[in-house]
Chains A and B, each alone.
Chain A
């Protein structure tokens, strides 16, 4: 047996001799196989966007949403195993509800992220469970302004100005770095998000995808997390497609 060793990857809560938890690393592979999800922190809010891979022509267009609301003011987008994400969101909703019951005010985005990350971390500790196969982007607006976080399968969480997970994360991250964050307006961030999802999409691997964009902004949505209006989504998508085609022309 080598020092990185075989047999150390079959169970949670078992370290390899060089201190790694392989189950957590495999969970990250599930994340990398799924469509891109991004989050942008803007002047007075947060924009979330996902590239939802359409695996069958029979799926109802526009249904099966991937971005979800945890509390009125907090949204989540994730890459990875959808059922894991659904459970993660449901846990977040329980936390939000319980907080409101105790304190009679909405939970802060930071506290919500801390609790969710603690929950995800617990799934790396026990023999009887496996880690969450998702990287989640949690965004929202609270009393102290806009916040954007990612939560990894290990339970680690980081605050970001621009975040990306999933297949196209590398391309998305380099595009995000070009933006003036967090000084961009919410509307501009929506347009930027559409462009980034299109730029990160790999046509040769997956033909069909749906673009989902949501936002929470003080000026645009009064601090409520919701999907962007149809007209804005269509405009953002049109601009993104134009740019995408221009670039393909240049490449040719």
Chain B
């Protein structure tokens, strides 16, 4: 296993899987998260409009891949920790702190979890930031991150197409075309493309339907 892909064999029979294409990209004014919307139980599509982009603080979100149950549980616990952090310290946590909480949970419980998470957020001090937390529970700060089973098909594409400090419009276009390819080649990814834009102005949600992104 290469640590990026979700290990399908690690799932229990019948467990709901996020065979996924997810990514998060920093840009000029912040960060954008993107994901497909397919949830599978074996060959069956359990949900074709899943929301894999989950809020853990005002402008700190995560992309979830792996077991739906595990990643929902982890995201819930992180959300609780960040809420407590905000109250106890009278200030919002940085994206790095949020990623560290994810990492600690994923590392300490690595034997029980199938969770590949990308944590991304915006704050006034550091701007947009992306942290990748793959299967073993390590933490990697990156300019952009891709993960999930579909991501393997777009490593080359992203490597050539990503440019630092893109505009918001260019970043949306980049994520849309990358996820379109991932969805096209990966049988476990599909449905709509969801995005969340995190900037100084707060949160903006986007959705792109197959009819739209497939024609590009």
Contacts and interface: CB of A to CB of B under 8 A. Distances in A.
A108 B104 CA distance: 20
Contact of A103 (B90, B91, B101, B125): B101
A105 B89 contact: no
B100 interface: yes
A114 B85 CA distance: 13
Interface in A95-119: 102-105, 108, 110-111, 114
Interface in B73-93: 85, 88-91, 93
B contact patch SS: helix
Interface in A55-106: 102-105
B100 A105 contact: yes
Interface in B92-142: 93-94, 96-97, 100-101, 103-104, 125, 139
A109 to B, nearest CB: 11
Chain A interface main SS type: helix
What's the interface size class on B, roughly?
10 to 19
A116 B86 CA distance: 18
A110 B90 CA distance: 10
A143 B97 contact: no
A103 B78 CA distance: 12
B130 to A, nearest CB: 16
Contacts of A143: 94, 125
A110 B97 contact: no
B201 to A, nearest CB: 22
Interface residues of A, number: 9
Nearest to B85: A103
A107 to B, nearest CB: 9
A110 B89 CA distance: 8
A54 to B, nearest CB: 40
Interface in B164-180: none
A108 B89 contact: yes
A89 B101 CA distance: 26
Most chain A CB within a 10 A radius of its CB, from B91, B93, B103: B91
Contact of A104 (B90, B96, B125): B96
Given A110-B89, A111-B89, A143-B125, A105 B96 contact: yes
B100 A104 contact: yes
A102 B89 contact: no
A104 B98 CA distance: 10
A117 B104 CA distance: 28
Contacts of A108: 89, 91
A110 B104 CA distance: 24
Nearest to A104: B100
A102 B94 CA distance: 13
Contact of A102 (B91, B96, B101, B139): B101
Given A110-B89, A111-B89, A102 B125 contact: no
Contacts of A102: 100-101, 104
Contact of A105 (B90, B97, B103): B97
Residue among B89, B96, B104, B139 with most chain A CB within 10 A: B89
19 contacts: A102-B100, A102-B104, A103-B85, A103-B93, A103-B97, A103-B100, A103-B101, A104-B96, A104-B97, A104-B100, A104-B139, A105-B96, A105-B100, A110-B89, A110-B90, A111-B89, A114-B88, A143-B94, A143-B125
Interface of A: 102-105, 108, 110-111, 114, 143
Across the A-B interface, the 10 shortest Cβ-Cβ residue pairs: A104-B100, A103-B97, A111-B89, A103-B100, A105-B96, A105-B97, A143-B125, A102-B104, A108-B89, A105-B100
